[in-house]
Amino acid sequence: MRKKFSLVHFFIVVCIFLLVVKNPCFVYAEGTKEKAVVFLLDVSGSMKSNDPNRYAIDSIAQFIYTLPSNFEIGFVAYNAEVCAEQILLKNAHRNEIMKVAETVQYTGYSNAGAGMMQAVEMLLDTSATEKAIVLLSDGECLMQDEDATKISYTAYQSATVQAKQNGIRIHVVGLGEEMEDIENSIFQAATKTGGGVYHSPHALDIQHSIDAILQEQFRIKQMTAAVIDAGEDAVKMEIDIPFAHASTVRVLLTSSSPIRDLTTNLNAEGVRQVNGERYSLIEIDNPKKDKMEFSFSGVSGNQIRMILIPEYWVTPKASVSYQDCVPDVPDALTYEREATITYTFHDMENNNIQLWTEDYFAHSKLSVEKAGNFEEGTLADGQLQTHETVTEHSESEVSFGFAEFPANILGSDTVKIVLEEPPALPIEEPDQFPYTIYVVLFLTIVLVIAAIIVFRLMKNKQPTVIPDDDGRPEPGKSSYVGRLNIYITRTASGYDISPLSYDLFRLPSTRVISMAEILESCGLKETFAGAGRIFISSGQGRSVILTNQSDCCIMKSGEILMKKKSYQLFAGAKVDIMFEDEISELTFQYRELKPSEMY
Amino acid sequence: MEIINQTNRTLLLDMINPDKMDLLTLVGDVKGLDSLSDDQMREINQYLECHSYEEMERKFEPTVWSFFDANSQSVRYTLERPENIPASMLTAINLNDYDSFFKTILTVMDSRKAQGLLNVEFHFEQLLEMISPKKVMEDIKLVRKEIQFNYKKYAALEDGDPAKLDLGDKLNLLFEDASKNYNNIMAMLPLAIEDIKTRLLLGNGGPENNGKGVVAGVLTMGDNGELKILEAPKEESTSLAVVDDEVTAGLVEVLADDYQSVNESPNDYVQNLVVRTFCPLTATTPTEIDVQTEVANYNSYLEFYRTSKDNFIKVVKPLVEKLLGIRMFFDQYKSKTKGMMPTLVIANISPEILAKSPNIPRLITYLNTTNSKNNFNDTIWYAIYPNLSWSQNVTNKIHRERFQGNVKKAGTDVYSMEALSTLLNVFKDYRVETFFSFENREETTFNAVAAEGIEKMIERCAPLIGKPYSEFAIPVLPNFTVLPKNKSGVVLDSRMHITDDNGVELSEAKEDIIRLWIEGVYIGGAYVAAGFRAACQCPEYLKNHFNMTKVRTDLELPGVRFDIEAGNHSLMAYTTMPKEITGFTNTIKTQINQKNFGWVFASENASQDGMAITNITVYKARNLLYDTEHSTYEPVYKTQVTTYIERILRYVTGDFKEDNIRDFFSNNPKSQKSKWLAKQDCINAIITEGDSLEYSINDMNGICELTLSFNGSPRNLEVQINRISGI
């Protein structure tokens, strides 16, 4: 038994690398997680003094247009009561929200309770997995009398409780002096529901608060592409968009002063431009180029910040390769199997497109979670690899965390992995094993031969067959130093063919080349009858020798060249050939090249 | 210039008149031929070679064909003779100085040049009125005045008087001119329009008379001393009219006869119109006017005139632009003494067709004949490739056209980059330098370059850079604006309508003003650049322009080494084109200087010796050969000097015989190099101070390597030595 095993062991060691096989594993994708946000805006009269330039409205636009496509967004504005609202809308209809937001006027009391109730109710109706409210207010509840204020406050409190119970997080942006105290009742909603608290002393700072919410609370990945000192003159610039195959790239320009005359030049499947007073957003669907040209003008002394927000719809795929080796343990029954799991990420629409292969994503961090175990990995060439020792058949679901990934990821984030158990160590007779190998090898050879035959049959044109006795002249002894400029003046198919050139100087001096070979190497599909028997060889004195063994009519300098004769062609010589089919014609000119031109 | 007597023969790659001979047809079948016979060359020159604009006009007779389309009830125009329409139904309109549109454009150019005003300052509208019927009538008034004056003298002389015969000759010429107006109905339209206006409104179009019939009268005092204008009795005025009436009656008869004989289908209305136009009579027999019919006629004539003129201009504009280009090519050569006058060989074929594979052997055969011989009379040195397509990048897509915008149509006269590269590949073998300019549109004008710089041009030339033929490609920018798009509106006249009291007046409503748009007229920069460079080849031209300086000009040397960028050369020799804009900003100029790209014209404020230069100057003169060492594009003169030296060397050394090559470069005062060195201080020296010309012979491979050093920047030239066998 011991001896038998050592023979087996020997063969295994020899063939160990042949056993590395790659098995595609079963993959399935889940739907994207839907998220919902309601922007709750205080439009009470006090806002008039805190935000006379209506920067808050611009910030809504900045907020809603920056959020990825899987967000449903609603809008509620309140003063003494809810004065404007827009139900939760999908990505394509976000402009409807702006239409409503732009109509609101800062007037009346502040009934934050009614506003919050409405916002929470709106979110209760949706099936989104993550829900949040962003409240922008410049003060606490304030109604016409104390009772009404108290009712409003109570409503606010109960709405907050309801929000917490339903997993709704409330982020509060306080504007102005009155909101300096982050302990006040309005901010309580944030602390109770685990939301963020932000304070903007001035209306101009709202932009920064919104920016912070997007990054800290919603984890929106963005890249600052440029910060430009604006001037009255138009600024023209080009930025890189290193997001190949991104579903959407949003380019957001923000400034504290108006952005004017924005024009863009880019290649993409679709483009949407939204211009506000102090921001502009360009939403690019499937950008086709990695560059984009801008021109715009601003106001002197102000800076314009340009942010890129990439968004990918992703389907992860995994493939597993195994490396089996014989274990050191003497009585082991199976191989020691090490699985290398390679995760790749593909465009959801077109699974053939592998994403993130660009340098920009190299070493980007991803977390992989499998059966409660977290592992962190980095991307290399768009791939993430993990290793695992396999002892038995297992099926597991792997999910990815993109928290530190520099792009916004939508689509599926899980993939199913099937790991096959290691094969049992062979116990067959040693002489049976090569037989299997031979069968495999034989089948492989048969397949290769069949593939070659099919490939040859599928080719339109037969390769130029050079018969042994085709009258090919003796090769010359001199080097080739020129080029043929070829002009197909007439073809059997009637197609026009662009001028061609063939570098003779690249040929060794011993090579005799036929016109058919020259035309074929120029990529011509047409057949020129008799071209296979017209030969060019190198001649003395920087010339070439033309030998005609065909029935083509060849003319040069006003005479017809005789068949089976050779003629010396010097620089500038022009030759006309009428081929045997009496339709096709070409003219070529032999150009001598100077040493510096032979490259 | 005993060896090479011209270095400025230029080939124009464009079509002027498809009915005339073209290069391909004249070259004919070239199977088995290396070159063309002298007879063929003479024939090609006879048909295609032009030494002046007038010669071009005579040889090519640029023509527009017009015919009436009964289906659409309109006049149709075409540049190609329509083959399916009988000759009798076709009218050929020659585009010469008599054509009102062409004349208008020429006048615009001349007056802008004379006034030296920028585009923004110039009142194009006033000159464009020349197309309107009113101006046509004013021109006719001059002719008719002369006819009347001469006829009066003619009638007074006795038969047989030699002076009468002289006057007869003069009248024949005048009638010939006049008949051009009445031998086709279209030319009669403006006459008819003005005629109706004259009769209904006394010609002034004012509302004063409300269209009522006007009767001449005399001012008298009534019985009570009140002022009255009484209708003058007809018979009382005869004493004055009778003397003239005999003359005018004769003239009326002659005009009527002439109209009848010239026109194939005459009619009374037009005959009367012709007579009234060319011989206005005092109405001795007043006729009643059918006001309603006349007003309707007037309005329909005016509309018809507008539509047909509009159609005409749309068709003729590309041709006019070509003609202006050719005119400006020749116009650049302004020299008191004529020497090496630029010559233009017009291929008269679209370069797209010329660049097709079946046709290239013909072009090669032609160039073999002109450029591969030691006879340099017919050598082609330059080519002009105008109207290179200005393809546009996709910008933001517009899904719905909210406002009527420009119709972006693929111009039939726009030629492709592919055809250009194919032709350049051929031209490089014959060392023909090709000036090309982009199609005529707002994006390629001075305004656009001043606003946007030259980045877009460089981007579009990218396919031609880094190629073996790059050295022979010269991108010219910007194009010249003759008539800016935004100032090309022409008011023809206003519609007429009948007032409530049955009077007639011209409408003042905005919608009743009949207006047409010419949509801009431009001249391709390539024509001007080639013309200017061709002019600079002439030593007499250089002498004329540099006679104020102390620099000598050698009359035996061409201007191949003349570097327009050097020193203040561009201020001494400049184009004949008037300035267009106030200039480029320093940023744009820095950009141009950094890139050193292309043949760039400048419309800058400059003065030389206290004299302000009001013309366009040459700012850069570079081809597309990129010198990576100096990160710059090469000046054009280097290529031509290299070509010139190679040709002279071939000629002088008997096709590169080794001994002769050594003699060529020897220090013997009679050697060619010594001769050139002796003229180093001339403005047109082949080897100027700072240049050097060295050679080395590689015995191994029989190559003579020439190193031409232009101010330290070397350029290599290799020639295959022709070794005598046995040595």
Minimal-distance CA residue of chain A relative to B704: A594
**DSSP 8-state secondary structure symbol assigned to residue B375:** -
The domain that holds A179 is classified in CATH as 3.40.50.410
Chain A hits for B361, Cβ within 8 Å? 487, 489, 574, 576, 587
pLDDT tens figures, B358-409: 999 999 999 999 999 889 999 999 999 999 988 644 344 444 455 555 544 4
Instruction: Give the number of other Cβ atoms within 10 Å of residue B90's Cβ.
Output: 14
User: In chain A, which residue's Cα lies nearest the Cα of B352?
Assistant: A498
Last residue of a domain, one of A203, A220, A237: A220
Asked whether residue A265 falls in the same domain as residue A156, the answer is no
* Burial tier of B109 (Cβ tally within 10 Å: 0-12, 13-18, 19+): buried
Residue A483 distance to chain B (closest CA, Å): 12
* Chain B stretch 67-86, residues whose beta carbon is closer than 8 A to a beta carbon of chain A: none
Q: Is B502 left (phi over 0), alpha (psi -120 to 50) or beta?
A: left
Work out the angle at residue B269's Cα, subtended by the Cα atoms of residues B263 and B272, and round it to the nearest 5 degrees: 85
| pLDDT value of position A364 | 84
Name which of B32, B361, B429 is nearest A489 (Cβ-Cβ): B361
Bridge partner list, A336: A325
A282 and A398 belong to one structural domain? yes
Contact A263 B395 (CB under 8 A): yes
For residue B589, how far is the Cα from the chain centroid? 29
Q: CA A146 → CA A45, A46, A81, A118, A294, distances in Å?
A: 18, 18, 16, 22, 54
Nearest to B356 among A496, A557, A595 (CB): A496
The answer to whether A271 contacts B365, with C-beta atoms less than 8 Å apart, is no
Could you give the C-alpha distances from A464 to A510, A526, B381, in angstroms and in order?
A: 20, 12, 43
- What residues contact B650, with CB distance under 8 A and at least 6 apart? B374, B656, B719
In the DSSP assignment, the letter for residue A213 is: I
Are residues A273 and B372, on separate chains, in Cβ contact within 8 Å?
no
Q: Does B360 touch chain A (CB under 8 A)?
A: yes
- Reduced to 3 states, what is the DSSP secondary structure of residue B86? coil
Per-residue pLDDT of chain A (599 residues; tens, 9 = 90+): 444 444 445 444 433 433 333 333 333 334 567 889 999 999 988 888 888 888 888 888 888 888 888 889 999 999 888 999 988 888 878 888 888 888 888 888 889 899 999 999 999 888 888 899 999 988 888 888 888 888 888 999 899 999 999 889 999 998 888 788 777 888 888 888 988 889 888 888 888 888 888 888 888 888 888 888 777 677 788 888 888 788 888 888 887 777 878 888 888 888 888 777 777 888 888 887 778 888 888 777 777 888 888 888 888 888 888 888 888 777 778 888 888 888 888 888 777 788 888 888 888 888 888 888 888 888 888 888 888 888 888 888 888 888 788 888 888 788 888 888 888 877 655 555 567 788 888 999 999 998 888 887 766 554 444 455 677 888 888 888 889 999 998 888 888 888 888 999 888 888 899 999 999 888 888 888 999 999 999 988 788 999 998 999 999 888 888 888 889 898 888 899 999 998 999 999 998 887 777 76
Say whether A557 and B34 touch across the interface (CB within 8 A). Answer: yes
Burial of A178 (0-12, 13-18, 19+ CB in 10 A): middle
The closest of B197, B214, B215 to B206, measured between CA atoms, is B197
Query: What letter would DSSP give residue B150?
Result: H
Q: What separation, in Å, do the N-terminal and C-terminal C-alpha atoms of chain B show? A: 34
Does a structural domain hold residue A76?
Answer: yes
A594 and B361 within 8 Å at the Cβ level: the answer is: no
Same domain? A198 vs A234: no
Nearest to B21 by CA among B51, B61, B55, B52: B61
Residue A6 CA, chain-centre distance (Å), reads: 52
Structure tokens at B72: 């659409």
Q: Is residue A466 part of a domain?
A: no
Q: Given an 8 Å threshold on Cβ–Cβ distance, is B397 in contact with A488?
A: no
Contact B361 A587 (CB under 8 A): yes
Q: Does B425 touch chain A (CB under 8 A)?
A: yes
Tell which residue, B357, B415, B364, has the closest CA to residue A522. Answer: B357
Range A148-155, long-range pairs (CB < 8 A, 24+ positions): A148/A109, A148/A111, A151/A113, A152/A110, A152/A111, A152/A112, A152/A113, A152/A114, A153/A112, A153/A113, A153/A185, A154/A113, A155/A113, A155/A114, A155/A116, A155/A117
Q: Which of A264, A487, A571 sits opposite B357 (nearest CB)?
A: A487
Decide which of A178, A200, A220 is a domain's last residue: A220
**Spacing of C-alpha B438 from chain mean position:** 16
Any domain includes A467: no
- Express each pLDDT in B48-61 by its tens digit: 999 999 999 999 99
Mean pLDDT of B425-442: 92
- Assess whether A397 and A335 both reside in one domain: yes
Residue/partner pairs of B274-277 with CB below 8 Å, 24 or more apart:
B274/B182, B274/B188, B274/B191, B276/B195, B277/B137, B277/B140, B277/B144, B277/B181, B277/B182, B277/B191, B277/B195
Shortest CA gap B188–chain A (Å):
48
Based on the domain organization, do A189 and A335 belong to the same domain? no
Q: What is the pLDDT of residue B406?
A: 52
- Whether the CB of B429 is below 8 Å from some CB of chain A: the reply is yes
Give the domain range for residue A160.
Answer: 31-220
Which residues in chain B (199-228) have CB-CB distances under 8 A to chain A?
none
Cβ burial, residue A250 (10 Å; 0-12/13-18/19+): buried
Amino acid identity, position B250: G
A436, two tokens: 């299997």
- Judged by CB atoms closer than 8 Å, whether chains meet at A558 and B365 is answered as no
Answer for the pair A295, A266: CB distance below 8 angstroms, yes or no: no
Contact A574 B34 (CB under 8 A): yes
Task: Measure in Å the smallest separation between the Cα of B28 and chain A Cα atoms.
Answer: 14
Q: Are the Cβ atoms of A576 and B34 closer than 8 angstroms?
A: no
Cβ of A267 within 8 Å of Cβ of B394? The answer is yes
Measured between CA atoms, how close is B434 to chain A, in angstroms? 19
Ranges of beta strands (E only) in A494-560 are: 500-503, 513-514, 534-538, 544-548, 553-556, 559-560
Which one of B32, B422, B718 has the shortest CB-CB distance to A557? B32
User: Which is more confidently placed, B26 or A399?
Assistant: B26
Name which of B357, B395, B396 is nearest A496 (Cβ-Cβ). Answer: B357
CA distance A225 to A253: 10
Is A478 buried (19+), middle (13-18) or exposed (0-12) by CB count in 10 A?
Answer: middle
Contact B650, B642 (CB under 8 A): no
Contact A505, A511 (CB under 8 A): no
B205 pLDDT above the threshold of 60: no
Question: CB atoms < 10 A from the CB of B417, how many?
Answer: 16
Same domain for A105 and A182: yes
- Tell me the CATH number at A562: 2.60.200.20
Same domain, A238 and A171: no
Beta carbons of B657 and B501 less than 8 angstroms apart: no
How far away is chain A from the Cα of B465, in angstroms, using its nearest Cα?
16
Residues A226, A257, single domain; the answer is yes
Among all residues of chain A, which has the CA nearest to that of B702? A541
Alpha carbon of A544 to those of A527, A532, A552, A589: distances in Å? Answer: 24, 17, 19, 11
At B432, give phi and psi (nearest 5°).
Answer: -100, 120
| Domain edge (last residue) among A195, A220, A245 | A220
Name the band, by pLDDT with cuts 50, 70 and 90, for residue B177.
confident
Find the CB nearest A499 among B32, B360, B395: B360
Chain B: closest CA distance from residue A510 (Å): 19
Work out the minimum CA distance from B655 to partner chain A, whole angstroms: 13
Selected for mutation to probe chain B from A251, A261, A574, A597 (highest B CB count within 10 Å) is A574
Contact (Cβ atoms closer than 8 angstroms) between residue B80 and residue B65: yes
For B321-334, give the DSSP string.
HHHHHHHHHHHT--
**Number of Cβ atoms within 10 Å of the Cβ of A143:** 21
Tokens representing residue B160 in the block: 């047989």
Cβ-in-10-Å burial (0-12, 13-18, 19+) of B197 comes to buried
CB contact under 8 A, A556 and B32: yes
User: Residue B415 has which token pair?
Assistant: 């030629």
Could you tell me if A581 and A519 lie in one domain?
Answer: yes
Rounded-to-integer distance, Cα A240 and Cα A290, Å: 6
d(CA B103, CA B116): 20
Which residues make beta-bridge pairs with A318? Answer: A343
Cβ pair A486, A522 in contact under 8 A: yes
Query: What number is the ipTM of this complex?
Result: 0.74
Other beta carbons within 10 angstroms of residue A223's beta carbon come to 17
In percent, the amount of chain B with pLDDT more than 90 equals 32
Mean pLDDT within B495-520: 82
CB atoms within 10 A of CB A547: 22
Task: Verify whether the Cβ–Cβ distance B32 to A559 is below 8 Å.
Answer: yes
Residues 6+ apart with CB under 8 A from B584: B449, B450, B592, B602, B603, B604
User: Would you give the end-to-end CA distance of chain A in angstroms?
Assistant: 69
**Strands (DSSP E) along B392-512, which ranges?**
433-438, 473-477, 480-483, 489-494, 496-498, 504-506
What is the C-alpha separation between A474 and A451, in angstroms, rounded?
Answer: 37
Give me the residue from B32, B34, B718 closest to A596, CB to CB. Answer: B718
Query: Is A595 in Cβ contact with B703 (below 8 Å)?
Result: yes
Mean pLDDT of chain B: 83
Shortest distance between the Cα of B34 and any Cα of chain A, in A, equals 5
Domain count, chain A: 4
One domain for residues A176 and A314: no
What average pLDDT score do residues B649-660 get? 88
The answer to whether A118 touches A152, Cβ cutoff 8 Å, is: no
Interchain contact B356–A (C-beta under 8 A): yes
- In chain A, residues with a C-beta closer than 8 Å to the C-beta of B418 are 498
Helix (H, G, I), strand (E, B) or coil at A207: helix
Length of chain A as a residue count: 599
- Residue A89 CA to residue A39 CA, distance in Å, equals 12
CA–CA separation, B620 vs B635, rounded Å? 8
Question: B357, A499: Cβ pair inside 8 Å?
Answer: yes
CB environment B388-405: b (16+ within 10 A), e (fewer): bbbeeeeeeeeeeeeeee
Only one residue has tokens 């179009």, namely: B205
Q: Which helix (H) or strand (E) holds B625?
A: strand B617-627
B chain contacts of residue A555, beta-carbon cutoff 8 Å = 31-32
Is A369 among the domain residues? yes
- Strands A268-275, B617-627: pairing kind: unpaired
Residue whose C-alpha is closest to residue B196's, from B184, B185, B188: B188
